[in-house]
Structure formats: C-alpha cells, structure tokens
Amino acid sequence: MQWTPESLLALAYEKCKNCHGTGLRGWRNNPQPCRCVLRNVFRACYRRFVYCVTQDRAISKVNLASPGGRDGRRLYERPVEDYIADFLLVSRRYLDELEYRIFRFHFLLGADWRLCCRRLKIEKGPFFHAVYRIQQRLGRVFSELRPFALYPVQDYFNRRIPEAGRTGKVIPMPARTQGRVTPVRPPLKTKDAA
C-alpha cells in the first residue's frame, strides 16, 4: 500500500489527538501512518473477513488466474477462501501468545470484554490496550504484506501478480492422463444438503 495524504486523511479519526485528523505522524523526513489509520485498516479487513466467513459457501466462485510466464499455464484460485486463510495465518504469525488468545476470543469467537477478562484473568484496562495494539499491528501488516496486501480489500480481490513477484518457475501440474479426462468438480451445495 502506497500511502498518500488523501488516503491517510480518508482513514484518519478526525478527533485523533496524535495526528489531529491528518492521519500522519512522525518527522517530515520519515512520515508514518498514525495509529488511528492502522486501526481503521484492521477494521476494514476484519469487516470483509466476517462477510467472507458468514456468506453462503455455494456462491464462492473459482477464478482462473494467469500467473504469467512463457508457457502460459493458468491456475485456479478461490479468492474468498484465500482471503480467510491469509487473514487467519497472518494474524497467528504476527501476534504473540497473549495477543493471539485475545484476538481469538474477542474477534474470532465474538466474546465481549467482560467474558475475555474473566477467561484470560486480566483487567479491563490492559485488555483494551491489548486490543488497540492488536489492531495497530495487524493494520500495518495487512497494508504492507507482499506480494498481496490484504488492504485495500478491493485490490486483494482484483489482484494481478506484479512483474516483480513473478519467479519464472513453471507451476507443477499433474501429468495429462491418457483417454478419459476427469472434469474439475469444485464442491457445490446439492439439493440434498440444502
């Protein structure tokens, strides 16, 4: 994500005491997005995550993507499932043990602060400090992840493999079978299962 003054301004909290609504903090030669911007990045990614995991699985679509390369081979991808997996795996990787337990209880399982504090045996103040810290850390990671950042969310779902990300390696595919060709059958909801 390339930050611009306009994108920072759009994500900033207008009453923020650190950036005063500009979304920018730090010295002029090393400007950084403010914490309020990073928290809003996390919230945008989290909203899409909730939407992805609660939508009807039957409408999840399979895309045929072209990764580039000389042989022109193409591969199948499931953007919704990819996004869910990236959101969970990146969060697990970048949070420490306590932060991940809070993230899991509060954001994934939907427990409110009272239940989280009782279960994790922590006070309300440290709990909310940890929640802010989690949102800021993941907001930064989600927007800086390479080659596919989770934010902006619409760019993730309309992604194109950038030139720099192409390795030139041939994607391994199963050898073509002689005779009958087995059609691709993604799991679909049947009438019996409905």
Tell me which residues touch Zn ion (CB under 5 A). 16, 18-19, 34, 36
H/E run at residue 65: strand 63-65
By beta-carbon proximity to Zn ion, the closer residue of 16 and 53 is 16
Shortest reach from residue 35's CB to Zn ion, in Å:
6
By beta-carbon proximity to Zn ion, the closer residue of 20 and 104 is 20
CB atoms within 10 A of CB 122: 17
Shortest reach from residue 37's CB to Zn ion, in Å:
6
By beta-carbon proximity to Zn ion, the closer residue of 19 and 131 is 19
User: Cβ neighbours of residue 36 under 8 Å, at least 6 residues apart?
Assistant: 11, 12, 13, 16, 18, 19, 23
Shortest reach from residue 19's CB to Zn ion, in Å:
3
By beta-carbon proximity to Zn ion, the closer residue of 7 and 18 is 18
3-state SS, residue 147:
coil
Shortest reach from residue 148's CB to Zn ion, in Å:
26
73: closest CA among 176, 170, 174? 170
